[in-house]
Structure formats: structure tokens, C-alpha cells
A = this chain, B = another copy of it.
Amino acid sequence: MARDTRTERSSGNEGVLRARLRQGLRRLTGTSPARAAMMIFAVTIAVFASLLMMPWSTVAGRSPEFHDALFVATSAVTVTGLTSVNTADHWSFAGELVILIGIQVGGLGIITIAALLAISVTRNLGLRTRLVAQEGGISTGAMGETGQVIRTVVICSAVVEAALAMVLIPRFIHLEDDLASGVWHGLFYAISSFNNAGFVVHSGGLDGFGADPVVIWTIMAGVFLGSLGFPVLFMLWRNRWHVRRWSLHTKLTLQVTLLLLVVGALLYGIMEWSNTNTIGEMSVWEKVQNSLFASVNMRSGGFSVVESNMENSETMLISDALMFAGGGSASTAGGIKVTTIAVIWLAFLAEARGDAESTAHGRTIPASAVRVAVSVVAMGATLVLISTVWLMYITGLDMGRPLYESISAFATVGLTAGLSADLPPEGLYVLAALMFAGRVGIITFAASLTVRQRSRVRYRYPEGRPMIG
């Protein structure tokens, strides 16, 4: 009895504390959960940038340039992986640890915030749509409360990362013949891959491990799982291969992900087959393995065994499209998201077939979902266009590399055309802003669009159909 009373009292205190905290946050950030999410991310980036500004963060033992610290902190927290300085050469072990923690916090933060926004969306949408949203894996019954969501996300991440580390740590110990460095590298790549961060702690990148299938396939698996997104992972965890129980969101995400994966690997393989700067001189098996690795990582992982900059410029253009597409919603991957592509494709199919509504897997996709999808694509394309023009102006380069770097930042991919390492501060700030917009902007933008869907039926205007095409 005594124990129960104590628990009640403490949860009462917690309740008061939580209410005050919430009130304070609300005053700070305005009432919109979307705006709150952006504030939280901005503050987190500022904290990690401050930590990287410490003298102990660099190998040289001096404070780094402010723009480098801000850029790398943004890149870590948004799990992008673009760097203005070589991670292994520039940052001390402490600095690398700060980056790793930044990645973990950022990765968890994104998934959590996306999941919470989805819930707040379902609340605002009323019961009917809320039931619908359960289909998206955001089941209010199973884990409706904020704390529950965060706990599930953290446990899910920890389990996958631990599994990855258990493969990578022994392998790195074996490869590097050193216990401490093996553990550190195994841990780093486990976290970096599941969070789709693309950061590497070897000064030559992954070049040295391109021939090691264990490292390559484990990192690929980590990136792939991370890019599916929490709702899909959770759905798969609960329902395994009972495809009929999968939600529409899960089905669409898996379909588009696998399609893009195969198409990306095929195109990469075909176009780079005899490029001696990339995979041209490898064995057939290695060519296949590296094409798959490149394809997985284009869609937000950001790891590379061969330098993107050495690819044919046609390959880079194809990569542009795949990077822009990105991964799953509420995942550590960026881009416009695969469900956005699915919704647009389904809309096209419905038109081509002459159906009045777009449907998939026995579900009708509401017209407003098409409008949100189109808005997300339009926003992304506009931001990338502006950034590309700006980087072209700064660097004097033709559009190929500035476009690649801009899309890589917007879609938080982290593959580089070699620009980030050479850009002046004003270029780095633009890319940092793009990473922020691509990571936090897209999810909050989509959520705030969706949440505003009120079903108010006012006076309905007569239809007007302008000619199209």
C-alpha cells in the first residue's frame, strides 16, 4: 500500500512538472507542434556546434572555424554526412564522439518527432481519420502516448544497432588487429549506418573496406533498415510476413523502396560497368556488390566505397533523381519520401485508367494526400533550384556538381561531389540551411499541411476545369 501511494504521489508531481514544462515550451515555441519540432532541432544543433567549438574537439587542440563546427553539427544532427573537413583527420576522439552522439540524438529525434507529429495529426483529424492513421502503423491503441512512442523508438533503434554492432565489432577487431579501435569503429558504423548518417571515421572513407563483404553487407543492411522508417519496422516486427495484416503505408513503402533499389543498382551497374575510376576494374561479383551498395546509399545512406565525383556525370544525374526520392516516412532517411512518389504514381494511374479515385491495396487514397504529395515535391524542387543557382554563382561551376551537392544536402544523403570540402562559409551556410529544411522542414511541412485538413463544408463553388496540357 505504502509503495502504491508513493508511486501515485510521484506521478502526481511528474504530472505537474510535465504540465509546466509543456506550458513553458508552448510559450517558447508557439502553439504549433510543427514549430516546436523546428525549435527543438535548432537548439540541438546549436548545442552540438558549441561542443565541437571546444578546443578538445579537434586533433590540433584549437577551436575549429565556426562555420566548420556549425556545418558538421548540422550534418550530424540531421544525419546527412556531408563534411567540410575530413572527420578522421580534423576531429579528436572526443570530437568524433560528439559527432556520434549528435547522429544518435538526431536520428532518434527525427523518428520520434515524425511519429509524434503523425499522432498530433491524427488527433486533429478526428476519430475517423485517426482510425485511418492507425493503418499507417501509428496505432494510438498500442502506443498512443508520447512516452510510449519514445520508448518504442529508442528500444527499436537500440536493438537494431546492437545487432549491427555485434557483427561489425568482431570484424573490425579482426581487420584492424586492435581491440579498442575495432570496438570504436564497429560501434560508430553501426550507429552511423542505421541512422543513415553516412559519417565515416577512416580518413580514406570506406575505400579500404570495399572488398570486405562483411562490412559492406552489414552497413548496407543497417542503412536499408533505417531507411524503411519506424512505422514500417514496427509493423514488420508485429506482423512478420503476414502480408495481409500490413498497413497500406507499409506495403507502399516496401514496394517503392525495393523497386528503386533494383532500378538504381541496375542503372549504376550498367553506366559505371567500364568506368575505370569507379568499378571498371573490379571482378563481376564486386561490381554487382558495389552497384547494390551504391543504390542503397544513394537513397539516403550516404556511404560510398568509390568517390561519387569519379562517376560519369550521367550516373550523377540518375543519382540526383534517386537521392531526391529518398526513403520511408518517419525514418532516418531524407528526401521527398517513397510514399510521396507512390501517391503521385497512383494518381497518374487512376487518371490513365479513368478511375474517379486513386486506390491501392483495397484502399482509396484521399485527394488531399495527392495535394500534400505535390506540395512536398514542389517545395523540395524549389529549394534545390535556389541552392543550386546560389552554389553555381559562388563556385563558377557548371550545374552538375552544385546540383548534386544541393540534392545531397536537401535529401540528407551525404554523398558529395567534392564541393562541401572546398566551399567558402557562405556556401556552407546555404547547404546547412538546406539540410535543416530537408530534414525538419519536410516532415513539419507535410504534417502541418495534413493537420490543417479541416472538413468544413462551406458554400461549395461550381466546378471550373481549366484546360491542362
Contacts and interface: CB of A to CB of B under 8 A. Distances in A.
Contact of A464 (B135, B348, B456): B135
A54 B218 CA distance: 65
A313 B395 CA distance: 11
A468 B368 contact: no
Contacts of A362: 461-462
A464 B363 CA distance: 5
A60 interface: no
Interface stretch (A3-11, A172-180, A196-204, A397-405): A397-405
Given A132-B465, A248-B464, A393-B314, A347 B375 contact: yes
Task: Point out which of A138, A314, A352, A467 has the most chain B C-beta atoms below 10 A from its C-beta.
Answer: A467
A460 interface: yes
A88 to B, nearest CB: 31
A353 B368 CA distance: 12
A211 to B, nearest CB: 29
Contacts of A371: 347-348, 350-351, 358, 370
B249 A376 contact: no
A330 interface: yes
A329 interface: yes
Contact of A365 (B135, B248, B318, B466): B466
A337 B467 CA distance: 9
Interface residues of A, number: 94
Contacts of A135: 464-465
B249 A385 contact: no
A321 to B, nearest CB: 6
B367 A370 contact: yes
A374 interface: yes
Contact of A445 (B354, B464, B469): B469
A95 interface: no
Contact of A347 (B247, B248, B336, B374): B374
B356 A453 contact: yes
Contacts of A129: 463, 465
Contacts of A248: 464-466
A356 B454 contact: yes
Nearest to A375: B348
Q: Determine the main DSSP class of A at the interface with B.
A: helix
A136 B467 contact: yes
A298 interface: no
A135 to B, nearest CB: 5
Contacts of A372: 351, 468-469
Contact of A466 (B312, B350, B369, B400): B369
Nearest to A328: B467
A259 to B, nearest CB: 15
30 contacts: A114-B467, A129-B463, A138-B467, A247-B464, A248-B466, A312-B393, A314-B389, A314-B393, A336-B469, A337-B467, A337-B469, A344-B374, A344-B378, A351-B375, A351-B452, A354-B454, A355-B454, A356-B453, A359-B461, A361-B464, A362-B462, A363-B463, A369-B465, A369-B466, A370-B370, A370-B374, A399-B400, A445-B469, A446-B468, A446-B469
Given A347-B370, A354-B452, A443-B469, 14 more contacts: A247-B464, A252-B466, A314-B393, A317-B385, A343-B468, A348-B374, A352-B449, A354-B453, A357-B460, A364-B463, A365-B463, A369-B468, A372-B469, A446-B469
Interface of A: 114, 118, 129, 132-133, 135-136, 138, 229, 231, 247-249, 252-253, 312-314, 316-318, 321, 329-330, 336-337, 339-340, 342-344, 347-348, 350-376, 378, 385, 388-389, 392-393, 397-400, 403, 442-443, 445-447, 449-450, 452-457, 460-469
